[in-house]
A and B are shown apart, each in its own frame.
Chain A
Amino acid sequence: MSSRPDDNAPLFPPPVAGQALPSAGEQRRDFLKLALGGGFIAWIAAVLYPVFSYLKPPKQAEVEVTNVKVGKLGQIEKDSGTIVRFGSKPVILIRTAAGDFHAFSATCTHLDCTVQYKKDIGVIWCACHNGKYDLTGRNISGPPPRPLEEYRVIVQGDEVSVSKKT
């Protein structure tokens, strides 16, 4: 053991058992030790709790805003439309009967409803007020005042992704 006096060592090295009978000073010291030990344990807890919470992976998948993968080429049917979450905005990915891809902002330019692909008439259609856009995004009928904003579709191998037009 170290050569230093025992009463210097409540933390390091471990205190030696069997000390003198508790005096008033000793009692105060016990309280101090309690405060030190308790405080230290509480502090460790206060540091470790955020750290361990941080280590736990969050449930939601993270948001990727400039480029969103949609899926495999084979999985996207011809003559169909899919709504893709693009950051905080919906994007509609259209695959025409001929197999071409187009992507547009799915937010109707009229009153911000979300548009859909209407297979029977082959247009992009807004359910709220019957707004229609053709497959190049142009507003062709109903109340929409402007065409839909176009996005870029990238087909790399058999991976289809949508990205912002720059």
Chain B
Amino acid sequence: MKKPLQKFYAWLDERAKISDLVQFMGKKYVPVHRHSVWYYFGGVALFLFIIQVTTGILLLLYYKGSEQLAFESIQFIMSKVQFGWLVRSIHSWAANLFILAAVIHMFSVYFERSYRNPREITWLTGMLMLFLGLGFGFSGYLLPWNELAFFATKVGTDIAGVVPVVGKPLMIFLRGGEDVTGATLSRFFGFHVALFPGIFTFLLVVHLLLVQRQGMSEPLGLDAEHDRKTMPFFPNFMLRDVLLWLIVLNVLAVLAVFFPWELGRKADPFASAPAGIRPEWYFLFMFQSLKYVPPRILFLDGEVLGIGLFGIAGLIWLLVPFWDRKSARGLRSRTISYVGIGVVAYILVFTILGWFL
């Protein structure tokens, strides 16, 4: 039994030089310190992305991206296709957990200042992937073509339309016309299954290659030699990763069985909006903030100002490796910590407000 396996490995190794790779991974070390636990969230996000790709492909086998059939085809998947309920519920739940894991990953990297030289590109690709993840969420939300999604998309694209100059054309581009219609569905479907995954995969490859080439970043202030502890990337870290993935998979299965993702009622463009329309939870803090902005501030439209501020804040956040000069020099900057804590607190408070109000 073992002999043929060994032979096969030798055969493969001769051609693909696997042992080099094993050696490379075996020589890679992961720093061990009291913040090591945060390293795992990138892996969890990666695992959830793989699940999204797998279940997404499975859903594609039965989903029909048209105004007439979208809702019915999801209904069909949920009721007629064996384990269709499981695949769809996992896809929906994993989408949310993915955003959650990615956000945690992002903030942990921020607070550790892991974005500093030489990992600026890793940070940028990561942030872009997070934005794309939000795009995945926004476009995927519409695909079942149910009432809530329909109106949430209407509101969401309306907000995009408020942006001066580019807003209106952007809204028309997103909607595929003046209104949210079947054309919007087709577009969002295309974004969701072709455009976004393509870009995302490219960014992911760059991101992972850089992580592998540069190794894990160590927090500032761990320079003292006696503090440095490490563990091999393979097998120690990777097996732990796998262990965590197994647990995440089980959590997903439990969520899918006990809280199957609801389908709601089919969207009717001529019906009045139902009560309780709100976007997915990860857009909630922005949605809620825009509610509090007064309609006019000085000579500016309140909503435009709010959106503009969010845009600028996002840009500043994205470019943090380039203006945080202190950590690049190996010093901890208090400003960065305060800004980070402020942002986390803001998002938490407004998400909670949006959820309960």
Contacts and interface: CB of A to CB of B under 8 A. Distances in A.
Q: Do chains A and B touch in the complex (CB under 8 A)?
A: yes
Contact of B81 (A13, A54, A66): A54
B224 interface: no
A17 B2 contact: yes
B84 interface: yes
A63 interface: yes
B230 to A, nearest CB: 16
A56 to B, nearest CB: 6
A8 B235 contact: yes
Contacts of B2: 14-17
Interface stretch (B70-78, B103-111, B169-177, B314-322): B70-78
A2 B87 contact: no
B87 A11 contact: no
A50 B23 contact: no
Contact of B80 (A60, A66, A67): A60
Contacts of B22: 2, 12-13
B8 to A, nearest CB: 8
Given A54-B84, A64-B69, A14 B9 contact: yes
Interface string A54-66: 1110101011111
- Which of A1, A60, A67 gathers most chain B CB within 10 Å? A1
Interface string B19-58: 1001100100000000000000000000000000000001
Contacts of B80: 58, 60, 62
A11 B235 contact: yes
A60 B83 CA distance: 15
Contacts of A67: 68
B6 interface: yes
Interface of A: 1-4, 8, 11-17, 43, 50-51, 53-56, 58, 60, 62-67, 166
A54 B58 contact: yes
A3 B76 CA distance: 54
24 contacts: A2-B19, A8-B235, A11-B235, A12-B22, A13-B9, A13-B19, A13-B22, A14-B2, A17-B3, A43-B246, A50-B86, A51-B83, A53-B82, A53-B83, A54-B58, A54-B81, A54-B83, A55-B61, A58-B76, A58-B82, A62-B72, A64-B68, A64-B69, A64-B72
A135 B53 CA distance: 53
A14 B5 contact: yes
Contacts of B246: 43
- Which of A15, A16, A62, A166 gathers most chain B CB within 10 Å? A62
A68 to B, nearest CB: 11
B76 A63 contact: yes
B76 A51 contact: no
Given A3-B23, A14-B5, A51 B58 contact: yes
